[in-house]
Amino acid sequence: MTGVAQRKGATPGQIALAWLLAQKPWIVPIPGTRRLERLEENLAAAQVELTAEDLAELDEGSSTLEIRGER
């Protein structure tokens, strides 16, 4: 994720939110924050444009994560 973030000039958190926004239209991230700077960072994630290659890289990276708990 950090590679995509560096290429896009974004934070890893922004990339995570942008990736979620690029998923199904009914998936809506609801980030919480108590700081104005984090709110502004989260809002800026909507402006991050991920290419098909970016999404493939992020999907590949996320496929190695172990999912725990009930979903």
Q: How confident is the model at residue 71 (pLDDT cuts 50, 70, 90)?
A: low
Domain-wise residue ranges, the chain: 2-62
Token couple for 40: 């502004």
Specify the pLDDT at position 2.
85
Degrees to nearest 5, angle at CA 29 with 48 and 53: 40
Cα–Cα distance for residue pair 33/69, rounded to 1 Å: 24
Provide the b/e sequence for 31-60 (b: ≥16 CB within 10 Å): eeeeeeeeeebbeebeebebeeebeebbee
Q: What is the pLDDT of residues 18-50, one digit of tens each?
A: 999 999 999 989 998 999 999 999 999 999 999
Q: Report the mean per-residue pLDDT for the chain.
A: 93
